[in-house]
Amino acid sequence: MISRRMVCAAAALAPATVLSPLSAQAQSSEARFAQWLQGVRQEAARAGVDRSTIDQALTGIQEIPRVMELARNQPEFKMTWDRYQELVVSNERITRGKALLKENRAAIERFAVPAGLPPSVVVALWGIESNYGQRLGDFEIVPALATLTFNNFRAKFFREQLIASLKILSQGHIGLHAMKGSWAGAMGQCQFIPTSFLAYAADGDGDGRKDIWTNKLDVFASIVNYLSRVGWRPGVRWGDEVSAGSGAGGGGRIVTPAGAGGPTYRTTENFKVILRWNQSDFFALAVGLLSDRIAA
């Protein structure tokens, strides 16, 4: 006869027996992650991040599985130039860009005019990067970057971004849970990665913080500062569409995004500056064309 005591004992043991392999695996992964974070703590401290920030940012954080799903399943870029232009330089984005330039012209010109930068270029980058501040990404930056680095996905690059993100928190520009962005760490309305933030973000309103998430003055100042610092030449266009067979000239180059028979663009040194932001001819052409259409 099976006693009640034996049934209770069996019931208590059964879940542990069934779940123990998965539980042990999870605990092992969590333990390795926690141990790995100790090295991040030490590196951050050596980089000048204060202990309070390190404790707040790294205590109790966990890997984000979705980040690795996105990192490992990036679609190949096979879009045609016509389709890319249709999506990125859409009539809706042009119309909204015109309205936002009119609405924010004084604020944008405050930074753009002294740098010799067309205000429409600022608006174009703002529009393409975050749809004018509407699409910022919803991943918390510190755990996202920690996940990528721990899983050895471009570990050197993302570890540098992780330490830089801790510096940003330490400097008080944004709160821990408000510092959100893409799975790969691009942040705010201008989608700066953390090292770009440290190098180029600007305090547009003089409050001591560089808030590219919610403060448009800081966003505009940061875009202008980036382009100016990497070599924007005042008074020089990004480029123009020309007839097929035209020469480059002027230190630029000819770009044919759709191949032979498609549109031809003679670009300038300022096109190269836009490429410093994103090393894609499609992207740089879209910035130039959207800028021209917003300004028209």
Which residues, at least 6 apart from 233, have a Cβ–Cβ distance to it below 8 Å?
116, 268, 269, 270, 273
Model confidence pLDDT, tens digit, residues 205-218:
999 999 999 999 99
DSSP secondary structure letters along 213-274: TT-HHHHHHHHHHHHHHTT--TT--SEEEE-TT----TT--EE-TT-TTS-EEEE-HHHHHH
- Does the residue 218 lie in any domain? no
At 264, which helix (H) or strand (E)? strand 264-267
Read off the tokens for 68: 């690795």
Say if residue 277 is in the same domain as residue 174: no
Whether the Cβ atoms of residue 56 and residue 176 lie closer than 8 Å to each other: yes
Question: Do β-strands 139-140 and 254-255 pair in parallel, antiparallel, or remain unpaired?
Answer: unpaired
Same domain, 105 and 127: yes
- Asked if residue 54 is part of any domain, the answer here is yes
The CATH code of the domain that includes 90 is 1.10.530.10
Q: Output the average pLDDT for the chain.
A: 91
Q: Pick 63 or 252 by higher pLDDT.
A: 63
The better pLDDT of the pair 12, 58 is held by: 58
Number of domains in the chain: 2
The pLDDT tens digits of the residues spanning 43-73 come to 999 999 999 999 999 999 999 999 999 999 8
> For 148-162, what is each residue's pLDDT tens digit?
999 999 999 999 999
Query: Which amino acid belongs to residue 272?
Result: K
